[in-house]
Amino acid sequence: MTSDPNHVDFVRRIIVGDVERGKHDGRVHTRFPPEPNGYLHIGHAKSICLNFGIAQEFGGLCNLRFDDTNPGVEDVEYVEAIQADVRWLGFTWDDRLFYASDYFEQLYRYAEQLIESGDAYVDSLDAEKIREFRGSVHGVGRDSPDRTRSVADNLDLFRRMRAGEFPDGAYVLRAKIDMAHPNINMRDPTLYRIRHEHHHRTGDAWCIYPMYDYAHGLSDSLEGITHSICTLEFEHHRPLYDWFLEKLGVHHPQQIEFAKLNLTHVLMSKRNLRRLVEDGVVDGWDDPRMPTLAAMRRRGYPPAAIRQFCEHIGVAKFNSVHEIALLEFHLRDVLNKAAPRAMAVLDPVRLILDNYPEGQGEELEAVNNPEDEAAGTRRVPFGRELFIEREDFMEDPPKKFFRLAPGREVRLRYAFFVRCTSVEKDAAGNVVAVHATYDSETRGGNAPDGRKVKATIHWVSAAHAVDAEVRLYDHLFATEDPMDPRGGPDGRGNLNPESLIVRRGCKLEPSLAEAAADVTYQFERLGYYCVDRRDSRPDALVFNRTVGLRDTWAKEKAQGGG
RNA sequence: UUCCUCGUGGUGUAAUCGGUAGCACAGCAGAUUCUGGUUCUGCUAGUCAAGGUUCGAGUCCUUGCGAGGAAACCA
C-alpha cells in the first residue's frame, strides 16, 4: 500500500473508469455474499472492507447477501453470526439484507427460459458419469446422450423435478454450451440438482436447488449490482457468469477478481479451521487463537485495527502472503492510542519496603493514557508490601539489565524511587521476597535532587491486589505456513505448543476488577489485555492477552546480549 | 503436457502517455522518554532471465524461466 491517496488499486481503477464513462449511469453497487456455512474470518474482512469500503467511497451501496443455495451445509446459526460480525466490523447494509433463496422462483423461471431457448437440458447421467464425460484438462469432453432431448421433454422433466417426482440425483439441469471448451467450467455445467432437503429459509418449498454459478450472477443481476468483486478462484467462472447474463439478456454486472488474504502462521481455509474445532485442538470457533472475527473480538482486537490493516494491505491479483507482523503493527497502533493503561503483575514476587511505615498506605495519581490527555487520571493504592514482576529483579544482573538488583535504584511507576537492599530465598534458592527502601522525597516519581534512574517498573499493592487468571495467547502455528508438509498432512506437527499459556494468581490493580467487557487495556510494560467475555466472572476474573508490547529487551536477551 | 492469471527489497504494495524505482511492515543504528512502549532520525535492501525497439524500458515487443489456480449434483 502507499500513503499517497492518489494511488489506487486495480479494482478501484476499473470502477473509476466505469464511473467516468457513465457505465450503469455512474452508479456503484457492490455486495458481500457469504455462504452461511461457517464463521467469518480475517480473510473475509478483507472482502468486506473492500466491498463496503468501495461503496462508501463512490457514494454507492453495498448489499449483504447470503448465498444460501446448498441447504445441506447451511444454518441460521451462521446467518446470525455473520451479521453480528459484519456489524461489529463497522459496516451497515440498512434494509439491503438479501438471500439467494429470495430469488428461487425467479431463478426457476430463468431456467425454463434457458430450456425454451435450447440453452439448457435435463440430464439423467449420474454424477460419476458427468465427471467422466466432462473429460480432463488434457482433452475434450463428450456429449451426454440426453443433450439432444427435445425442448418439450426437457421442460416436462424439469417441471417434474420441481414437483418432487424424482429422487435425489435422478436428474440435473445443465447448460448447453460446449463439451470441448478449453475452460472446463463451460463444458455444460450443472444449473440445478435435486435435493429433498429442508432449507433454513424456504423450508420444504423446494426440492431442486440452483448451483452457485447460476444463482450467483443472476442474484447480482437482480439486485442491480454493478461490480461483483470476488476472489481469484472464480476467475475461470467469469465466462460462465457472463454467459448466463448474456443468454438471458438481463442487467450485466462486471465480475472482478482479486487475490484473497493469506497471513503467515494463520490457517485460513474454512474446512481446516472446522477440523481444528471438531478435533478439539482449539476451544471453539471463538477460541482467541482462531482467525475468525468472533475470536478476534474475544481476544480484544478493536474492529478499527482490522479495518486499518485491510486498508493498508492493498488489493492485487498476485497471490501473496502477508506477514502477521503487519496485522500486529496495526493492532498495536490502534491500541496504543486508545487503550486505557493499568498495572498488573503476571508473575508476582513480593517487594517489601522496610522503611515504609507498617499498617499505612496512600493513593498515588496515575495517568490513564499518555497518548490521550482526555482519558484523565486515576488513583492507585500504595503500601509497604507490593508485588513486582519476577522478571524485573535479578540477583546477578548482566550489563544491559537496567531493572532492580541488589544495591540498584529504580522507579516504581507513578510512585517512588526504591533501592534494593536484600533478597529472601527459600531452601531451593528461589527468590520469595525482595527487600528495599523507598525515598519519600521522590513521591510521584521524580527526585528533587534531579537524580535519574535507568528503569521504571510496574507494581501492585499487595493489600489491594485483585487476583486473576491471565491467558497468554500466541500464534496457533509455529511455522509461517500452517500446512508446511514437515508438520504432517494435516499440519498438526506445526502447532505452536505455547500458543496458550495460562497464568494463575496474577495480581491486578483494583480498578481492573470493574474492567469493561469490550475495552482492551494496556497492562503497562507488558501488552494489551481484555476481559474474557465468556469465562470471566466477578469473583474469578479471566483476562486474555490481545498482543504483547514490542519488546526490545526480549530481543536483546534472545541474541545473547543478556 | 490444455486453459486462465500473475512475477518490483526479507514481506506486502506504488510508479499518468515510456522520463530520478516510492511507501508501509520487518531488520539494523542512534536520539527522546516516569512503559526496554510510544515518538523522532538515519541505514540496509528491489524491477525473474535473455534478447529487441528507443535518446531513455519496471512499463512496449519476442523468447525463456518461475509461481498460483482450474477437471463438485460445493461456494
CATH of the domain at A162: 3.40.50.620
Helix (H) or strand (E) holding A547: strand A541-548
Q: Amino acid identity, residue A271? A: R
Same domain, A437 and A371: yes
Do residues A53 and A81 share a domain? yes
Residues 6+ apart with CB under 8 A from A262: A43, A268, A319, A320, A321, A322
* Residue A284 confidence (pLDDT): 96
- Please, are residues A412 and A392 in contact by the beta-carbon 8 Å criterion? no
Q: Which nucleotide shows the minimum CA-to-C1' distance to residue A445?
A: B34
A556 falls in which pLDDT band (50, 70, 90)? confident
The answer to whether residues A407 and A526 belong to one domain is no
Nucleotide nearest to A550 (CA to C1'): B37
pLDDT in tens, A9-57: 999 999 999 999 999 999 999 999 999 999 999 999 999 999 999 999 9
DSSP per-residue codes, A274-291: HHHHHTTSSSSTT-TTS-
CA to C1' distance (Å), from A553 to B44? 22
Supply the pLDDT for residue A560: 65
> A1 pLDDT band (50/70/90 cuts)?
very low
The CA-CA-CA angle for residues A357, A361, A367, to 5°, reads: 130
The whole-number pLDDT of residue A3 equals 41
- CA→C1' distance for A474 and B46 (Å): 32
Domain check: are A294 and A204 in the same one? no
**Whether A296 and A371 share a structural domain:** no
Q: For A167-217, what is each residue's pLDDT tens digit?
A: 999 999 999 999 999 999 999 999 999 999 999 999 999 999 999 999 999
* Domain count of the fold of chain A: 3
- The closest nt to A326, taking CA to C1', is B25
CA-to-C1' distance for A259 and B37, Å?
35
The residue among A191, A223, A258 that closes a domain is A258
Quick count: other Cβ atoms within 10 Å of Cβ A380? 22
Cα separation, A392 vs A429, whole angstroms: 17
Evaluate whether A415 touches A336 at the Cβ level (below 8 Å).
no
Q: Is A452 exposed, middle or buried (0-12, 13-18, 19+ CB in 10 A)?
A: exposed
If asked whether residues A253 and A379 sit together in one domain, one would say no
8 A C-beta contact, residue A511 and residue A521 = no
Mean pLDDT along residues A93-98: 98
The CA radius of gyration of chain A, in Å to the nearest whole number, is: 31
Which helix (H) or strand (E) covers residue A496, if one does?
Answer: none
Apex A315 CA angle, A309 and A317, nearest 5: 140
Look up the protein residue whose alpha carbon has the minimum distance to the C1' of B69: A233
User: What's the CA gap between A38 and A83, in Å, rounded?
Assistant: 12
Strand B bases near protein CB (under 7 Å) are 1-8, 10-15, 22-28, 34-39, 67-75
User: Is the pLDDT score of A6 beyond 90?
Assistant: no
How far is the CA of A556 from the CAs of A253, A352, A455, A467, A474, in angstroms?
Answer: 55, 29, 16, 31, 20
Residue A265 located in a structural domain: no
Cβ partners under 8 Å of residue A344, min gap 6: A458, A460, A468, A470, A506, A507, A508, A509, A512, A523, A526, A529, A543
User: Residue A379 carries which side chain, given as an amino acid letter?
Assistant: R
Domain harbouring A541, CATH code = 2.40.240.10
Helix, strand or coil, per DSSP, at residue A427: coil
Residue A511 CB coordination number (10 Å): 19
- Asked if the model's pLDDT at residue A553 lies above 50, the reply is yes
Compute CA distances A96 → A77, A99, A138, A179, A278, whole Å: 20, 10, 44, 39, 34
Domain stop point among A458, A490, A523: A458
Instruction: Say how many CA atoms lie within 13 Å of A442 toward its Cβ.
Output: 23
What residues make up the domain containing A214? 5-258
Percentage of chain A modeled with pLDDT above 70: 98
Q: What is the pLDDT of residue A405?
A: 97
Closest nucleotide relative to residue A270's CA, C1' based: B75
Cα–Cα nearest to A143, from A177, A113, A94: A177
pLDDT tens across A222-274, in order? 999 999 999 999 999 999 999 999 999 999 999 999 999 999 999 999 999 99
DSSP A53: H
Provide, in whole angstroms, the distance separating residue A509's CA from nucleotide B31's C1'. 33
Helix A303-313 with A76-89: angle, nearest 10 deg? 80
Let me know if residue A464 belongs to a domain: no
Report yes or no on A355 lying in a domain: yes
Question: Over 70: is that where the pLDDT of A4 sits?
Answer: no
For A232, which DSSP code?
Answer: G
Domain contains A238: yes
Residue A151 lies in a domain: yes
Whether residue A46 is contained in a domain is answered as: yes
Round the average pLDDT of chain A to a whole number and report it. 96
Handedness of CA A79, A83, A84, A89 (dihedral sign): positive
How far apart (Å, rounded) are the C-alpha atoms in residues A101 and A68?
Answer: 6
Q: Is residue A351 in some structural domain? A: yes
Distance CA A57, CA A292 (A): 26
Please tell me whether residues A517 and A543 are part of one structural domain.
Answer: yes
pLDDT digits 0-9 by tens, A329-384:
999 999 999 999 999 999 999 999 999 999 999 999 999 999 999 999 999 999 99
Q: Is position A362 within any domain?
A: yes
Q: Which nucleotide is nearest to A71 (CA to C1')?
A: B74
Separation in Å: B16 C1' and A326 CA = 30
What average pLDDT does range A425-430 have in this prediction? Answer: 96
Query: How many Å apart are A172 CA and B5 C1'?
Result: 31
Q: How many CB atoms are located within 10 Å of the residue A408 CB? A: 19
Average pLDDT of span A521-530:
98
Single residue among A414, A436, A458 that ends a domain in this structure: A458
d(CA A210, CA A192): 4
Considering chain A, what percentage of its residues have pLDDT values greater than 90?
95
Give the closest nucleotide to A553 (alpha carbon vs C1'): B36
Q: What pTM, to 2 d.p., does this model score? A: 0.96
ipTM: 0.96
Quick: pLDDT tens for A104-142. 999 999 999 999 999 999 999 999 999 999 999 988 999
Task: Identify the CA nearest to A194 among candidates A142, A156, A159.
Answer: A159
- The nucleotide lying nearest A170 (C-alpha to C1') is B73
State whether A75 and A18 are in the same domain. yes
Q: From the CA of A492 to the C1' of B34: give the distance in Å.
A: 45
Q: Nearest-5° angle of CA A210, CA A42, CA A100?
A: 20
Same domain for A104 and A242, yes or no, is: yes
Whether A328 and A403 share a structural domain: no
pLDDT in tens, A211-227: 999 999 999 999 999 99
Report the run of H or E that residue A521 belongs to, with start and end: strand A520-523
Question: Partners of A310 in the beta sheet?
Answer: none
Residues A289 and A358 in one domain: no
Q: CA–C1' distance A47–B10 (Å)?
A: 27
Helices A10-20 & A42-57, crossing angle to 10 degrees? 20
Residue A561: pLDDT above 50? no
Rounded to an integer, what distance in angstroms lies between the CA atom of residue A224 and that of residue A221?
Answer: 5
User: Is residue A560 classed exposed, middle or buried when 0-12, 13-18 and 19+ CB atoms within 10 A define those classes?
Assistant: exposed
Domain match, A291 and A253 both: no
Would you give the DSSP letter of residue A471? E
Whether the pLDDT of residue A75 is over 50: the answer is: yes
Q: Name the grid cell of A92.
A: 451497515
